[in-house]
């Protein structure tokens, strides 16, 4: 039996160590990780995947901890993937989310895994999605993804979730700004966490207006900073999609509002299933996955071909010497690959 | 193929167990490891051995560094080692202990499976270098 076949069996048999190691292989993109993920696939699709994003310090991890505790009380098992940025200089990182997991001490049925961005922009969302698959195949009932809502990369990451939750802390007039980054469009549920703090009511009101207007933050913000020229790409199927992101208030530190939030998750789930949206989202994810894999493979082929033909340096020399240009080179290098494809 | 190039990183859990509230050393080590390019998970203060085991297993760390200045190493470290064995995580995890450990106890800890003990004043480069050289592959 190959190493990955053994590992896969152990994971499916419920061995925590095997689940941990599979995720490591996925993260490291070890040789053989594809075989593993491919083997996981047929065992996935049963977990409910919840994404949690929001500005740094919004209370995501604290909330995840309380959610996990709640699910455990209901007898459900939980997996958590928490993503932290890494230093672009050293690649090192202190992965700080785990420290908030205080309510599920020693409970192996809450499987918490910290992941670092490892400076690889595109690949992280793939690795996250694959780690979620590993937890799903392992048999986790709920899988929660936590990531800092900082940019496109993070938006892609929570895209692996069925239900995307955006945490907005009260106060600091920057909240609306943060939402501009494109997170508004992907939010299924807004959570105003730290509802015990001043300004929570106002934030709820702002969000309510924003959701009510349904046209993105542009309208709300129009008079504010003149950001209104930003055109939102809203490809929401407006008439088949009656879902308006609800706004839930929570105090993650003492668990207030967690029951409400879980009920809201359930409502969203019901909506996803009844409207066919779940299938649509999953199809979209699979399509994206196929494309990503193919892009990676194609890029690999091109690199190999480039090496075969003497490496990029030689071609650069040619351009610098004025003998040729990058366009001609690209055509030439692609030639053999194109020929292979056209022959079929 | 280039896209199959693996992206390995050394993952370390820096752990504080028991009632020991001395966390400066753990912070210093966590930062040094981060700056060395490692991925560091810090347990936070006052963790039970079980919690440390849970974290080490789930996070699949190559290195488990336990910081103890309370003098309770002789009772806490064996519990952690036992827990790791229970989950088949003992053999391929590098276990380090740092903090205030009397010389007389070092041999015993090493017998248990601790790879090395780093006391006060160990130059940081030495610790980092040791980890680089000894962290088991994943
Ligand atoms: C500062 C200090 C405190 C501070 C702690 C502040 C904090 N948040 O950390 C305060 C004042 C709170 C404190 C309180 C106490 N302290 Co005190 N404290 C010290 C002191 C003077 C320095 C510790 C320190 O921070 N050093 C600086 C850091 C950077 O060094 P370090 O922790 O040793 O870490 C280095 C190495 O050990 C190693 N390392 C450490 N961890 C790890 C982990 C890994 C993975 C690796 C690889 C390496 C590594 O690398 C670091 C860098 O080289 C020591 C004496 C000493 N010289 O060690 C006593 C000492 C640790 N304290 C002691 C005692 C008894 C206490 C108290 C019980 C006192 C009391 N009666 O109230 C309380 C208990 C508090 C508690 N809840 O645990 C004793 C412990 C005796 C023992 N072990 O048998 C010591 C040794 C003093 C003594 N000689 O008696 N203390
Ligand atoms: N007052 C109050 N504080 C909270 C609440 N939720 C979280 N906090 C505190 O906010 C701080 C940050 O909480 P985290 O859970 O670490 O926030 P996070 O969003 O996960 O942070 P990052 O992962 O670093 O982006 C901690 O000190 C929490 O105790 C809340 O509802 N009310
Ligand atoms: Mg967090």
Pocket test for ligand 1, best of B69, B75, B115, B132 (most atoms within 8 A of CB): B69
The atom number, within ligand 2, closest to the CA of A256 reads 31
Q: Which residues contact A218 (CB under 8 A, 6 or more apart)?
A: A227, A228, A230, A231, A232
Residue B14 has pLDDT above 70, yes or no: yes
Please, which pLDDT band fits residue A119 given cuts at 50, 70 and 90? Answer: low
Q: What ligand is nearest to the CA atom of residue A80? A: 3
A66 dihedral zone (left: phi>0; alpha: psi -120 to 50; beta) = alpha
Q: Output the pLDDT for position A92.
A: 82
Best of B55, B60, B85 to disrupt the A interface (most A CBs within 10 Å) is B60
Looking at per-residue pLDDT, the higher value among A332 and A69 belongs to A69
The atom number, within ligand 2, closest to the CA of A62 reads 15
**A78-84 and B116-118 strand pairing:** unpaired
Q: How far is the CA of A195 from the centre of ligand 2 (A)?
A: 12
A40 CB neighbour count, 10 Å cutoff: 21
Q: Which residues contact A185 (CB under 8 A, 6 or more apart)?
A: A216, A232, A233, A234, A236
Stretch A271-285: mean pLDDT, rounded?
A: 93
Q: Output the pLDDT for position A231.
A: 42
B102 dihedral zone (left: phi>0; alpha: psi -120 to 50; beta) = beta
- Which residue, among B66, B1, B8, B72, has the nearest Cα to B37 in the 3D structure? B8
Q: How far apart are CA B31 and CA B38, in angstroms?
A: 10
CA atoms within 13 A on the CB side of A316: 3
* Angle at alpha carbon of residue A72, lines to A250 and A139, rounded to 5°: 120
CA dist list (Å): B76 to A209, B22, B113: 55, 16, 13
Residue B3 has pLDDT above 90, yes or no: no
Tens digit of each residue's pLDDT (9 = 90 or more) over A311-322: 899 999 999 999
Q: How far is the CA of A259 from the centre of ligand 3 (A)?
A: 20
Identify how many contiguous H helices and E strands chain B contains and give both numbers.
5, 5
Pocket test for ligand 2, best of A54, A58, A59, A195 (most atoms within 8 A of CB): A59
Q: Which residues contact A86 (CB under 8 A, 6 or more apart)?
A: A92, A93, A116, A117, A118, A119, B39
Q: Which residues of A touch B44 (CB under 8 A)?
A: 99
- Which residue, among A313, A315, A344, has the nearest Cα to A332 in the 3D structure? A315
Q: Over pLDDT 90: what percentage of chain A?
A: 53
Q: Output the pLDDT for position A150.
A: 65
Residue A219 has pLDDT above 60, yes or no: no
In this predicted structure, which of A116-125, A217-226, B63-72 has the lowest mean pLDDT?
Answer: A217-226
Q: How far is the CA of B26 from the centre of ligand 1 (A)?
A: 10
Average pLDDT, chain A: 85
Q: Which residues of B touch A20 (CB under 8 A)?
A: 57-60
Q: Output the pLDDT for position A104.
A: 86
Q: Output the pLDDT for position A206.
A: 86
Domains, chain A: 1-42 (no CATH), 44-275 (3.40.50.300), 293-343 (no CATH)
Looking at per-residue pLDDT, the higher value among A242 and A216 belongs to A242
Stretch A71-95: mean pLDDT, rounded?
A: 87
Reading the block at residue A189, the tokens are 């549920």
Tens digit of each residue's pLDDT (9 = 90 or more) over A11-58: 999 999 999 999 999 998 888 899 999 999 999 999 999 999 988 899
Q: How far apart are CA A47 and CA A136, in angstroms?
A: 5
For every residue of A76-127, DSSP letters joined together read --EEEEEEE---TTT--EE--SGGG--TTTT-TTEEEEEEE-TT-HHHHHHH
Stretch A125-146: mean pLDDT, rounded?
A: 95
Tens digit of each residue's pLDDT (9 = 90 or more) over B29-85: 999 999 999 999 999 999 999 999 999 999 999 999 999 999 999 999 999 999 999
For every residue of A218-251, DSSP letters joined together read HHHHHHHHS-TT--------TTT------EEE-B
B102 lines ligand 1 (CB under 6 A): no
User: Which segments within A250-327 are labelled E, that is strand?
Assistant: none
Q: How far apart are CA A24 and CA A18, in angstroms?
A: 10
Q: Output the pLDDT for position A173.
A: 57
Predicted ipTM beyond 0.85: yes
Q: How far apart are CA A158 and CA B121, in angstroms?
A: 44
Domain residue limits, chain B = 11-132
CA dist list (Å): A181 to A151, A168, A211: 6, 13, 16
Tens digit of each residue's pLDDT (9 = 90 or more) over A159-192: 789 999 999 888 755 556 556 657 777 889 999 9
Q: Output the pLDDT for position A175.
A: 57
Architecture of the domain defined by B11-132: 3-Layer(aba) Sandwich (3.40)
Please, which pLDDT band fits residue A105 given cuts at 50, 70 and 90? Answer: confident
Reading the block at residue B91, the tokens are 């053999």
Residue A86 has pLDDT above 60, yes or no: yes
Q: Which residues contact A124 (CB under 8 A, 6 or more apart)?
A: A83, A115, A117, A118, A153, A156, A157
Rounded to a whole number of angstroms, the distance from the CA of A299 to the nearest CA of chain B is 8
- Sign of the torsion angle spanned by Cα atoms B56, B59, B60, B66: negative
Q: How far apart are CA A147 and CA A156, in angstroms?
A: 10
Q: How far apart are CA A148 and CA B23, in angstroms?
A: 27
Run of H or E residues at B12:
strand B11-16
Q: Which residues of B touch A82 (CB under 8 A)?
A: none
Residue B115 has pLDDT above 50, yes or no: yes
């Amino acid at each position: 039996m190959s190493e990955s076949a053994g590992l896969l069996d152990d994971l499916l048999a419920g061995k925590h160590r095997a689940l941990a190691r599979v995720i490591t292989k996925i993260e490291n993109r070890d040789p053989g990780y594809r075989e593993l993920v491919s083997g996981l696939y047929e065992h996935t699709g049963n977990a409910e995947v919840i994404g949690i994003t929001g500005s740094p310090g919004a209370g995501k991890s604290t909330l995840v901890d309380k959610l996990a505790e709640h699910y455990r009380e209901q007898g459900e098992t939980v997996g958590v993937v928490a993503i932290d940025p890494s230093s672009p200089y050293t690649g090192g990182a202190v992965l700080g989310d785990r420290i908030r997991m205080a309510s599920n001490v020693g409970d192996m049925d809450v499987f918490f895994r910290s992941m670092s961005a490892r400076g690889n922009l595109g690949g992280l969302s793939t690795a996250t999605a694959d780690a979620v698959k590993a937890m799903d195949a392992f048999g986790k009932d709920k899988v929660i993804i936590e990531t800092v809502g900082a940019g496109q990369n993070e938006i892609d990451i929570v895209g692996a979730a069925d239900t995307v939750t955006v945490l907005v802390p009260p106060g600091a007039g920057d909240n609306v700004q943060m939402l501009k980054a494109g997170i508004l469009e992907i939010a299924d549920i807004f959570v105003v966490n730290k509802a015990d703090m001043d300004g929570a009511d106002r934030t709820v009101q702002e969000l309510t207006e924003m959701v009510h207007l349904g046209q993105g933050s542009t309208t709300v913000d129009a008079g504010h900073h003149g950001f209104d020229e930003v055109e939102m790409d809203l490809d929401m199927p407006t008439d088949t999609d009656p879902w308006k992101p609800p706004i839930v208030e929570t105090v993650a530190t003492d668990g207030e509002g967690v029951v409400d939030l879980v009920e809201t998750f359930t409502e969203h789930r019901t909506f996803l299933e009844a409207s066919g949206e779940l299938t649509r989202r999953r199809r979209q994810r699979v399509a994206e996955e196929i494309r990503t894999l193919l892009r990676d493979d194609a890029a690999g082929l091109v690199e190999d071909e480039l090496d075969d033909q003497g490496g990029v340096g030689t071609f650069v020399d040619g351009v610098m010497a004025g003998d040729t240009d990058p366009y001609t080179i690209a055509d030439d290098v692609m030639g053999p690959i194109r020929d292979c494809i056209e022959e079929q | 193929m280039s896209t199959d190039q693996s992206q390995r990183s050394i993952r370390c859990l820096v752990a504080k167990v028991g009632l020991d509230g001395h966390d400066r050393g753990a912070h210093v080590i966590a930062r040094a490891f981060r700056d060395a390019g490692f991925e560091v998970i810090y347990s936070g203060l006052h963790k039970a051995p079980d919690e440390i085991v849970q974290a080490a297993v789930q996070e699949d760390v190559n290195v488990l560094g336990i910081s103890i200045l309370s003098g309770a190493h002789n009772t806490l470290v064996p519990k952690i080692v036992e827990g790791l064995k229970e989950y088949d995580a003992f053999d391929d995890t590098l276990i380090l202990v740092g903090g205030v450990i009397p010389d007389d106890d070092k041999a015993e800890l090493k017998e248990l499976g601790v790879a090395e003990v780093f006391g006060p004043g160990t130059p940081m480069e030495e610790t980092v270098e040791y980890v680089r050289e000894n962290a088991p592959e994943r």
